[in-house]
Structure 1
């Protein structure tokens, strides 16, 4: 038995999220279905670095699974991609130690969120960017971002449905880049709560429009109340970009 770590990409608009759900098409179900076929009906559990919601995409999701098949490592990528649907792509496959865990061994994660600030809606990008055609104050955005950096209790910036009790997370970097009227927010942290990136983006956009002052972020964090933060930006603009491990 050996443990394999795969980096995968997927178009989230085609799925009801990553995690298996009854009577829903999910990324995990598709991958486990392929592995079941390869293992002649045996169920193979796939563990991911974390789940993504409906409509959310991945450029570098990390998963692991155990297998007894004697397929050479350099053949696994082709074997999986030949059976997976076109919305999922295996980018790399590596053999890892038996104690490697795709979720618990994560050192940090990078998410990116894309906002189209074009006046006209691009119908071809509607599943991949949040259309927000308003003028934004970039100086205010940069000022607000500074208050998120560091270790904080992010209760105000996660869904009320969040089940985890410890809501302290550390954000190492937040930046934004504009190119061709597309604003990309980049987040790097040791972990992110349910809807955390989307709520931060929604709040930052309100700051950029002048509805909130940058320094309000401090009091919003301190109040630990979801109703004090901004709206949750839609899932279609969010990408799980990269998962980092110590090695």
Structure 2
């Protein structure tokens, strides 16, 4: 029988802040750097496949979300999601402000730098809005499914939760982002194909990295001495209150 205690304050955790920082860093890099480059790879039987470079690393932010939810619970993952959302809003506003500031005519390098900044960071308002909405909906869907499945499975079969939550979260993300960003620009058939391909690739990244997720979760539960079950948690996104029941492993 496991001992239970009320949710502990965030300052009691040694690794929580570092995980949040890592999640935000991956999120910002995949959204600000990755989308600027389209990659093409040739695979046996499938031929040439094109995808945004950010799609290779964006799923890592979902792995951070899985780890945070599994170890610390939905409420603390919720804090991390809001931190990521705030960082994305700030980065979007900052990049737009810098692009629109008048470049000094006395600096010759600006003639090369300004077009480059506009090309890399000058996303249209539709793409910026789509990224924010898709991230918010997708990450909360991922964390919700992860937490609920942990209760259903009574903490067993972690792989079902990590993959199952990613199937839902990445599906919500892709189904939200591409229609908002490209409806009326791309043909409907193209949007469907891109959604299907990117969703599949993101889920495969999660599957491949499942052993790493197991290792990190095991390490954190052991070092933090905690394993959170969201019993009685209010699964609203609009709260920063600590909730969930902390179980002490091995007792």
Q: Same fold (TM over 0.5)?
A: no
Q: Which has the higher contact order (CA 8 A, sep 6+)?
A: 2
Q: TM-score range by the shorter chain?
A: under 0.3
When you count helix as a share of all residues, which structure comes out higher? 2
The alignment's TM-score, normalised by the length of structure 2, stands at: 0.22
Structure with higher strand content: 1
